[in-house]
Amino acid sequence: MLVEQMLVGPMAVFSYIVGCEKEKEGLIIDPAGSVNKIISKAADMGLRIKYVVNTHGHADHTCGNRAVLSKTGADLVVHREDAGEIIRGLNRAFSMVMGKRPSPEAHTLLNDGDFIKIGDTGLKVIHTPGHTPGSICLYGEGNLFTGDTLFVGAVGRTDLKGGSLDILLGSLRKLLTLPPETRVWPGHDYGDMPVSTLAREKETNPYIT
């Protein structure tokens, strides 16, 4: 599995390009800005982008959706609980404030346990509500893309609409059933390093310890 982490947008968001090295199919997780940079990197990797995946519906993670979809012809996929969030008025306005066009509706709605296939690899959808009702993490080949569910040393805020700390802590317990060596790729560059492991977070993250 090919993984490219890219720091984009005005809010220290990490976008990701994930691809199958053999079949050269790929997807983009949370295109939050610097769209031309993301598309150029995917081209350098030789990938045909099949999907854009949002880990949740907040505009800082979805504001590049429309541009990437237009340039790649990819399908937009999001958990069904956040499908309305990406197109509601506040998110549309926030996208425009950040200089982007609002996101279109999703092509496919995800459920817990779904598998997003790219070539001969892919990512399993893990529903992890708490930051938003439809937050998801994506797991494959020892990689866990956590969006705003889990950061390096912290977690996403739970004081916005649909957030719940109790529910988020339950989602963290769900993630901890994965192998401890699993690499954690967070949705923001808020920690002391850009990537971690579940073992490290279990030892150092105050929301887990």
The predicted structure's pLDDT at residue 93: 62
Q: Are 79 and 86 in contact (CB under 8 A)?
A: no
Instruction: Give 123's contacts (C-beta < 8 A, 6+ positions apart).
Output: 18, 27, 53, 115, 116, 138, 139, 140, 145
pTM score above 0.85: yes
Evaluated on CA atoms 34, 103, 26, 50, the torsion sign reads negative
Whether the pLDDT of residue 152 is over 60: the answer is yes
Going by DSSP bridges, is the β-strand pair 2-8/13-19 parallel, antiparallel, or unpaired? antiparallel
- 94-117 mean pLDDT: 82
Domains, in order of start, for the chain: 2-204 (3.60.15.10)
Evaluated on CA atoms 81, 84, 88, 94, the torsion sign reads positive
pLDDT grade for 104, boundaries at 50, 70 and 90: confident
3-state percent breakdown (helix, strand, coil) of the chain, nearest 5:
25, 30, 45
pLDDT in tens, 50-72: 999 999 999 899 989 999 999 99
Whether the pLDDT of residue 100 is over 90: the answer is no
Query: 37-41, 47-51, 96-100: which range is least confident on average?
Result: 96-100
